[in-house]
Amino acid sequence: MKISIEKKDQHYSFEAQPGEKLLYAGLKAGFPLPYECATGTCGTCRARVKEGDIEEGWPEAPGKKGLKEDRREFLLCQAYVKEDSDFNNDTCLLGVPSAIKQFREDDLTPVHHQGEVRNWERLNAEVLQFDVVLDSAIQFHAGQFFVIQAPGIEGFRAYSMVNYEHETNTLTFVLKNKKNGAFSKWAFAQANEDGETKEVSLFGPLGRATFHPDEANNLFLVAGGSGIAGLMSILRHADVSGHFDNYSATLLFGVRTVDDVFYLAELNEMVGRYPNQITVHIVFSDHQSLAGHDLDLGRLNPGFGFVHEQALATIEPNLTDTMAYLAGPPPMIDALIRPLILEAKLPANKIRYDKFG
């Protein structure tokens, strides 16, 4: 079915296959439609139907809060073409509240992929790392994510890549066990079966909380839990591109307890090579000291309390040559943005974030 979007004097149109999310269809066609999470939680891809009919998808999507039904508003990342539509003749005209524009010249066009899940590795009791091997090599920017759909499970979940290579057919992800998460339940069950490879559907790369060496910034990185994934990719790209010859990185990685840490060896190794450029703080929200805990942080610094509070205590005010990357639960991001602008006086265009619900 043909989907058209009118924006002032610009006109965009693309084809959407039956069942295909309209956001993915439009992005795949090369139109940089507005979005953030691409999975129904943030509401950034809000649009409205001006003519025609679409299926709105997931009724309880958290991002639908505040949508106006009388204006026929919906989320592009959830909506799809009705199964019974006359595919060749029907068209649908949509409106969106912000411009359809590139983020950078080197934006990558996301596409649908199939991939095989391999190399399950438990990083701790609640966190899994796994690889998805794609049918062909692709490029992505450090900090980007893919949406993944497991067999038999409704809907896509967003996961940031941990690895970075200029071109690769292997994407590495981390996953936190969520009690009510269908995908994590599936993944943890798979991880317990030896040697099985499973096929998943993916779409990406997505996301604009990206690192680009040519932007010439020091890095201020704040992660909550599995939000560390995309920041690991950023550190790795900075590493291989020689960024730490000229710029520094400060990472605050927030976890609850000593049992929740992971990637300590990888971070230690990086700090070992760049002791003057990279500073890492592991911030424990449920401890007041490490006394009595059997944990060696090596070259990493311990911190205690909420990671956003430690981050605000760590950042120097009035930085103009620093890009902040925030990745973690929405309350952590929300608690950081306002004081970063008001107190640390960080320019708003120097803050990039990934807010997954």
Partner 1 sequence: MNWKVACAAGDVAVDSMKRFDVDGVSLMIANVGDGFRAYPPVCPHMEEYLENSGICAGGVLTCDRHLWQWDMKTGEPQGPAEKPLLMYETKEEGGEVLVFIEQELEYEFDDDDD
For binding to partner 1 (CB under 8 A), which residues are involved?
6-8, 36, 43-44, 46-48, 50, 66, 71, 73, 95-99, 334, 337-338, 341-342, 345, 348-349, 351
C-beta of 92 vs 187, nearer to partner 1: 92
Minimum distance, C-beta of residue 62 to partner 1, in the bound complex (Å) = 14
C-beta of 49 vs 134, nearer to partner 1: 49
Query: Amino acid letter at 225?
Result: G
Minimum distance, C-beta of residue 341 to partner 1, in the bound complex (Å) = 5
Tell me 92's DSSP state.
Answer: E
In angstroms, rounded to a whole number, what is the distance separating the alpha carbons of residues 4 and 236?
40
Q: Which tokens go with 32?
A: 């940089």
Minimum distance, C-beta of residue 342 to partner 1, in the bound complex (Å) = 5
In angstroms, rounded to a whole number, what is the distance separating the alpha carbons of residues 26 and 28?
5
C-beta of 99 vs 216, nearer to partner 1: 99
C-beta of 236 vs 308, nearer to partner 1: 308
In 3D space, the residue among 54, 48, 56, 53 whose CA is nearest the CA of residue 94 turns out to be 48
Minimum distance, C-beta of residue 144 to partner 1, in the bound complex (Å) = 18
Q: How many CB atoms lie within 10 A of CB 33?
A: 25
C-beta of 22 vs 271, nearer to partner 1: 22
In angstroms, rounded to a whole number, what is the distance separating the alpha carbons of residues 325 and 344?
14
Question: Could you identify the residue written with the tokens 């994510």?
Answer: 145
Minimum distance, C-beta of residue 17 to partner 1, in the bound complex (Å) = 25
C-beta of 70 vs 83, nearer to partner 1: 70
Minimum distance, C-beta of residue 352 to partner 1, in the bound complex (Å) = 9
Q: How many CB atoms lie within 10 A of CB 5?
A: 22
Minimum distance, C-beta of residue 208 to partner 1, in the bound complex (Å) = 10
In angstroms, rounded to a whole number, what is the distance separating the alpha carbons of residues 142 and 321?
19
In angstroms, rounded to a whole number, what is the distance separating the alpha carbons of residues 233 and 210?
10
Q: Which tokens go with 171?
A: 């994407």
Contact predicate 40/33, CB 8 Å: no
Minimum distance, C-beta of residue 96 to partner 1, in the bound complex (Å) = 6
Omega of the bond leading into 329 within 30 degrees of 0 (cis): no
C-beta of 11 vs 273, nearer to partner 1: 11
Q: Which tokens go with 72?
A: 């026929």
C-beta of 158 vs 324, nearer to partner 1: 324
Tell me 316's DSSP state.
Answer: P
Question: Could you identify the residue written with the tokens 């989320």?
Answer: 75
